[in-house]
Amino acid sequence: MTTDVPRPRDREDDRHRPGRGVAVFWIVAGVLGWVVSFLLYHEYIGQLTGGDALISCDISPIVTCGPNLLTPGGNLLGFSNSIIGIVLFTGPIFAGVSALASRAGMQKWYWRTYAAFVAGAFVFVHVLAYRSVFEYGSLCPWCMVIWLVTIPLFWTVAGWTLRAGVWGSAGRGAGRILLSWLPLIVIVDYLVIAVAAQLRLDVIGSL
pLDDT tens track for 89-106: 999 999 999 999 987 788
CA-to-CA dists, residue 123 to 117, 129, 158, angstroms? 10, 10, 13
Whole-angstrom distance, CA of residue 16 vs CA of residue 97? 14
Q: Domain range for residue 159?
A: 16-206
Stated pTM of the model: 0.86
pLDDT digits (tens, 9 = 90+) for 12-39: 457 888 889 999 999 999 999 999 999 8
Q: Does residue 125 form part of some domain?
A: yes
- Does 8 map to a domain? no
Q: By C-alpha distance, which of 52, 70, 43, 200 is closest to 134? A: 200
- Residue 172 falls inside a structural domain: yes
Query: Per-residue pLDDT for 195 more than 50?
Result: yes
Residue 105 lies in a domain: yes
Measured CA distances, 98 to 101, 124, 126, 152 (Å): 5, 25, 28, 20
Q: Has residue 2 been placed in a domain?
A: no
Q: How wide is the angle at C-alpha 100 spanned by C-alphas 99 and 105, nearest 5°?
A: 40
Task: With residue 119 as reference, give the H or E element that holds it.
Answer: helix 108-131
Total count of domains within the chain: 1
Q: CATH number of the domain at 78, please.
A: 1.20.1440.130
Within-domain flag for 184: yes
Q: How far is CA 203 from CA 55, 129, 165, 187, 199, in A?
A: 21, 14, 42, 19, 8
**Local confidence band at 111 (pLDDT 50, 70, 90 cut-offs):** very high
Residue 57 lies in a domain: yes
What span, in angstroms and rounded, lies between the C-alpha atoms of 199 and 119?
A: 27
Q: Is residue 129 part of a domain?
A: yes
